[in-house]
Amino acid sequence: MKVFVVHYSEIGLKGENREFFEKKLVENINRKVKGAGALARRRFGRIIVEIRDESKADEIAEKLSKTPGIRYFALARVCKLDIEAIKKAAVAILQDMKFSTFKIAASRSNKSFPYNSMEINRMVGSVVVEKLGKKVKMKEPDVVVHIEICEKEAYIYTERIEGVGGLPVSVSGRVVSLLSGGIDSPVASFLLMKRGCKIVFVHFFNETLHSREVRKKIESIVRVLAEFQGESKLYMVNFGDVQREIIKVVPASYRMIIYRRFMMRIGEKIARKEGANALVTGDNVAQVASQTLDNLAAIYEATGMPVLTPLAGFDKEETIDLAKRIGTYEISIQPYPDCCSFMIAKHPETRAKLEVVKRIEENMDVEGLVEKALENTELVTIGSKREQ
DSSP string, 27-54: HHHHHHHGGGTEEEEEETTEEEEEES-G
Residue 118: domain span: 2-162
Distance CA 73, CA 5 (A): 5
The band of 208, judged by pLDDT with boundaries at 50, 70 and 90, is low
Sequence-distant (≥ 6) Cβ neighbours of residue 352 within 8 angstroms: 254, 257, 294, 295, 297, 298
Q: Decide which of 138, 162, 186 is a domain's last residue.
A: 162
Dump pLDDT digits (tens) for 322-341: 999 999 999 999 877 665 55
State yes or no: pLDDT of 356 exceeds 50: yes
346 and 226 co-located in one domain: yes
Domain count, the chain: 2
Percent of the chain with pLDDT over 90: 78
135, part of any domain? yes
| Same-domain status, 135 and 206 | no
Residues 144 and 243 in one domain: no
Same domain assignment for residues 243 and 220: yes
Domain identity same for 279 and 131: no
* 388 in any annotated domain: no
Does 387 fall in a domain?
no
Say how far apart CA 123 and CA 107 lie, in whole Å: 14
Q: Which of 118, 142, 162 is the last residue before a domain boundary?
A: 162
Q: What mean pLDDT comes out for the span 172-178?
A: 97
**Phi/psi of residue 51, nearest 5 degrees:** -105, 125
Q: Residue 312 maps to which CATH number?
A: 3.40.50.620
CA distance 287 to 103: 48
Q: Is the dihedral of CA 302, 304, 308, 313 positive or negative?
A: positive
pLDDT value, residue 386: 45
Measured torsion, CA atoms of residues 128, 134, 136, 140, in degrees rounded to the nearest 10: -120
What's phi and psi for 30, nearest 5 deg? -65, -35
Let me know whether 135 and 208 are in one domain.
no
Q: Are residues 276 and 202 in the same domain?
A: yes
pTM of the model: 0.91
pLDDT in tens, 89-108: 999 999 999 999 999 999 99
Chain centroid to Cα 365, Å, comes to: 38
Position 212 scores a pLDDT of 73
The CA distance from 261 to 65, in Å, is 37
Q: Indicate if 198 and 302 belong to the same structural domain.
A: yes
Q: Do 282 and 203 belong together in one domain?
A: yes
| Model pLDDT for residues 103-162, shown as the tens digit of each residue | 999 999 999 999 999 999 999 999 999 999 999 999 999 999 999 999 999 999 999 999
- If one counts every other C-beta atom within 10 angstroms of the C-beta of residue 139, the result is 6
Examine the domain organization and report whether 136 and 240 are in the same domain: no
221 and 356 fall within a common domain: yes
DSSP 102-160: EEEEEEES-TTSSS-HHHHHHHHHHHHHHHH--EE-SSS-SEEEEEEE-SS-EEEES--
Average pLDDT, the chain: 92
The answer, yes or no, to whether residue 207 has pLDDT greater than 80, is no
Answer yes or no: do 190 and 125 share one domain: no
Q: In this predicted structure, what is the pLDDT of residue 387?
A: 47
pLDDT value of position 339: 59
Question: DSSP string of 154-193?
Answer: EEEES--EE---SB-TTTT-EEEEE--SSSHHHHHHHHHH
Query: What DSSP line would sit under 234-284, residue for residue?
Result: EEEEE-HHHHHHHHHHS-GGGHHHHHHHHHHHHHHHHHHHHT---EE----
d(CA 24, CA 11): 11
Q: What is the CATH number of the domain that holds 34?
A: 3.30.2130.30
Query: How does pLDDT run across 227-242, given as a tens digit for each residue?
Result: 999 999 999 999 888 9
The pLDDT assigned to 12 comes to: 79
